Chain A
Amino acid sequence: MTDNNNRRVLAMALLVAILPGCATQSTLSEDESDPLEGTNRAIYDFNETLDAYVMRPVAETYVDYTPELVRDGVTNFFSNLGYINVIFNQLLQGKVKQGIADIGRFTINSTLGIGGFIDIASAGSVPKHDEDFGQTLGVWGVDEGAYIVLPVLGPSSARDVPRYITSTLLNPLFYITSPIIGPTGVLGAVNERSNFLEATRLRDEAALDPYTFTREAYRQRRLNDIYDGDPPLDDWDEGEEGNEGEEAASNVLRIE
């Protein structure tokens, strides 16, 4: 734990050291924060096209023809299967108590919850957690690295790419060799997409530049996840340093 704390402090110190630099050299920082922007945008466009013609229509049809109760059950089932990965990463982050409680959660939902379809633990007010290997690396002090858009999978970062390895290897579905695995995987993907229909609709409605909006929302969300919902304020206030010397001007020009 102490080691983790030290790493967190180190990561914070690095952030504090880096941020003012980013803010004062904005052109450089924009390129540095997304050095692969050209490739990323191409993959983003490909993903959006795939989404517009395949994933979104399929997900919308799935929502139209499947009762909410069933969709919730499917979401619970896949979420429960992914929970071994959550527990594994809790332990890697030193969250031992939470990890033990979540072993109980996984056991109850897998048995009494009929293979995870019913989230009995949440009904009994046992909190659900969300951890993955990208967050673990963040807690350990690993820098976010370049923003990366993955084909089909979407937004990620150099730090987050390895999370797909642990989440795949620790998912029981990976070890099942059966003709049913293909359709199950498709159902998981369609169901997952259906859970974000509203979010992507709101994004498309609000965003002036959907690529940039998605990138920043992803980064913010990941920072929030790493800090378990309580990210440091220094980070949200990023860029303020770049406005040094303009505070007086802002006061004069403020429109009340």
Chain B
Amino acid sequence: MMMNGYRALTRVLIFATALVLGADLQAGTAEAKSLIDKLHTTLLDVMKRADALGYSGRYDTLAPVVSASFDFGTIGQKLLGRYWAGLDADQRKRFLETFERLSTATYAARFDGFNNETFRAVSQETKGDWTIVTAELVKSNGDTVQFKYILKPEGERWRILNVFADGVSELAARKAEYSTVMKDRGFDALIARIKDKIDHYAKGA
């Protein structure tokens, strides 16, 4: 009888723990989803006000949201892979700052007009430590571009670690490129090329 009582209590405790953990997990993925929603809302906002804002206005509007959405520290380290270890603290800082500017500049240049596009949530799921939020940009002609965001909690907050655009991992594609430039031309050339891209985006707008 006593044993049964303990067993029942244990079950209740396990069940309660599972409920709490489950709720926590759900709350976590909801936060991950709301981070993506905020990014998409900001993108739609700059698209709708594209002309009024101009490139620099779009850049300034996007910068704080992009900064808060992505875990650039981890992304930068992954991008440079084995070359990261060979950089001093100042070089690492320069790379992370330059790459963050490139990310914001890319958004500011690409989302430069509005043609009745919408973002549609597709799914969200948890795999291990990661939450994956999938959404589609739906164009006015019905064509879609799928964005799959990989998010990981960083302390209290969720941050994006990678984006798959129509199945292509941004991190993997850029990592391969950066490795090639680092191998053939070195760190300063890499920074110079990224800055060229940022300037190109600014001028092209």
Contact = CB atoms under 8 A, between A and B. Distances in A.
Contact of B177 (A205, A212, A242): A212
Contacts of B78: 239-240, 243
B177 A220 contact: no
A219 B176 CA distance: 11
Interface in B144-162: 146, 150, 162
A23 B78 CA distance: 11
Interface stretch (B1-9, B38-46, B84-92): B84-92
Contact of B93 (A236, A250, A253): A253
A250 B73 contact: yes
A45 interface: no
B73 A229 contact: no
A205 B146 CA distance: 20
A220 B172 contact: yes
Interface in B60-88: 71-74, 77-78, 81-82, 84-85
Contacts, number: 109
Contact of B176 (A212, A233, A250): A212
A207 B178 CA distance: 10
Q: Chain A's interface: helix, strand, loop or mixed, by majority?
A: helix
Interface string B176-194: 1111110100000010011
B81 A26 contact: yes
A30 B175 CA distance: 12
Contacts of A255: 72-73, 93, 96-97, 100
Interface stretch (B22-30, B49-57, B163-171): B163-171
Place the interface of chain B in its size category.
35 or more
A112 B130 CA distance: 46
Interface string A217-235: 1011101110001010100
Place the interface of chain A in its size category.
35 or more
Interface core residue of B168, B174, B181 (most chain A CB under 10 Å): B168
Given A208-B194, A212-B176, A221-B167, 18 more contacts: A23-B82, A205-B200, A207-B177, A208-B197, A213-B174, A215-B176, A216-B168, A216-B169, A220-B164, A220-B167, A224-B166, A224-B167, A229-B167, A233-B127, A236-B169, A246-B84, A253-B73, A253-B96
Interface of A: 23, 26, 30, 68, 202, 205-209, 212-213, 215-217, 219-221, 223-225, 229, 231, 233, 236, 238-240, 242-243, 246, 250-251, 253-256
